[in-house]
Amino acid sequence: MRRKTIFQIVRKIFLTGASSGIGLAIAKLLVAQGHEVWATSRNLERIPKMAQLHPARLDLADPRSVEEAFDAALAEAGYFDVLINNAGSGHFGPAGNLSEKEIASQFQILFFGHVQLMQVALRAMQERGEGLIINVTSLAGRLPVPFMAAYNAAKAAMASFTMSIQLELPDSRVRIVDLQPGDICTDFNDAVTKSEQRGSRYEATIAKTWDTVERNMKKAPKPDLVARRVCELMDRTNPPPRTTVGDGFQTKIAPLIFRFLPQRVRIWGLKKYYGI
């Protein structure tokens, strides 16, 4: 890692999903702190023009694009101190009606693409002997959101895969963190793909759930909170393997309570929470 001053370390960072929401907030704060960021998006026009912010085209739905984007950015940067796997997408609809294509799409973007990035970055970091990988998963992996089964499952899979790599890593200066946000106030819901369910047995329940999801999103903390947590993790010599970020109930109280409850009570509690 090269130094800007005796007090501040300037890091080179590869960040996915930097054109909106949490990713954009992270990118802006990192640049404001003097770091160099290779910021990815499918549409480079959505990446703001800022000094030390390098746009990189990446489509997580395309495995070839993942490798090509990282290799091109790595050739330009020389090395990366930090990889932040943040990009995501959502699908809203009954689990029993999800097609194989819809499930595969969620897993490719939220799991396979980020695992691919983590593996190539890990190899490069191990060669250098240091580095940090932050996988932005979700509390939805532990506290599922109704009618977002593929999203919940893919996030849970990413959290489990992250922990598996943490178990296997030799004692080294390469660290991997599972960062699990609760609800964060972004435009994420505007991009969620919804299944049309008019006239189905799920119509009323879906409407109630979506109203709760929208209401929670509007009341949730801003993405700057996640950006600050990312910077805190980067500044720690030994960051925690898993940490949460969001409002106190979702990130502290609910996971603690649910940890000791039987599954039947967990399901009842989540149904009450979403009003279904």
Spell out the domains of the chain, with CATH numbers in brackets: 2-274 (3.40.50.720)
pLDDT tens digit at each of 276 positions of the chain: 444 444 568 899 999 999 999 999 999 999 999 999 999 999 998 999 999 999 999 999 999 999 999 999 999 999 999 999 999 889 999 999 999 999 999 999 999 999 999 999 999 999 999 999 999 999 999 999 999 999 999 999 999 999 999 999 987 789 999 999 999 999 888 888 887 666 578 888 999 999 999 999 999 999 999 999 999 999 999 999 999 999 988 888 888 888 889 999 999 999 999 989
In this predicted structure, what is the pLDDT of residue 197? 66
If you ran DSSP here, which 8-state letter would residue 63 be given?
H
Q: How far apart are the first and last CA of the chain?
A: 51
118's CB contacts (< 8 A; 6+ apart) are 83, 85, 133, 135, 162, 165, 176
* Angle at alpha carbon of residue 210, lines to 228 and 106, rounded to 5°: 65
d(CA 211, CA 246): 20
- pLDDT computed for residue 193 by the predictor: 86
Write the DSSP symbol of residue 109: I
Distance CA 38, CA 16 (A): 8
pLDDT at 198: 66
* Contact predicate 243/180, CB 8 Å: yes
Query: Per residue in 19-47, is it b (16+ CB within 10 Å) or e — as a string?
Result: bbbbbbbbbbbbbebebbbbbbbeeeeeb
Both tokens of 90, joined, read: 């959502």
Its pTM stands at 0.92
